[in-house]
Amino acid sequence: MSLYSSIFIIRGGNLVMYELTTIVEFEAAHRMADYPGKCSRLHGHNWKVEVTVAGNSLDNIGMLIDFRLLKQKVNEIIETLDHYYLNELEDFRDQNPSAENIARYIFQKLGAQFAKNITLQQVKVWESPHSAVAYRED
């Protein structure tokens, strides 16, 4: 697991925005019901998940959120997916565990877990090194 951060400062409108991203990985199997191709068969991925939060005020030690805490919150959700057959999980029994649905699942599970000064911006899920989906609620 690795993590990185970036800082955005908007000068014109007096808004200072900090954006932090953590990246975690998990392994899981799934199949895409009714898919017209080989993805309809059971297969697995080494999934990568990027979670981005943002805010404009820092705490008394100069941090928006401790990376350790951010990663802990993300990992609590990832543990419910890691090394599972996703189609058998309750949240995916009535919908395919597509990258899109997995990204929404993670976003919605994480959404209310942050302090009021922190907003969950986006969850990006990579199912391969070249294919990813981003989910956000604007």
Q: What is the pLDDT of residues 88-138, one digit of tens each?
A: 999 999 999 999 999 999 999 999 899 888 999 999 999 999 999 999 998
Three-class SS string for 33-96? CCCCCHHHCCEEEEEEEEEEEEECCCCCCCCCCCHHHHHHHHHHHHCCCCCCEHHHCHHHCCCC
83 is an active site residue: yes
Q: Which domain holds residue 23?
A: 2-135
User: Catalytic residue among 27, 83, 88, 137, which?
Assistant: 83
pTM of the model: 0.88
39 is an active site residue: yes
CATH of residue 113: 3.30.479.10
User: Catalytic residue among 39, 45, 76, 100, which?
Assistant: 39
pLDDT score for 100: 98
pLDDT score for 14: 55
User: Catalytic residue among 30, 45, 50, 127, which?
Assistant: 127
11 pLDDT tier (thresholds 50, 70, 90):
very low
Task: Give how many domains the chain has, as a whole number.
Answer: 1
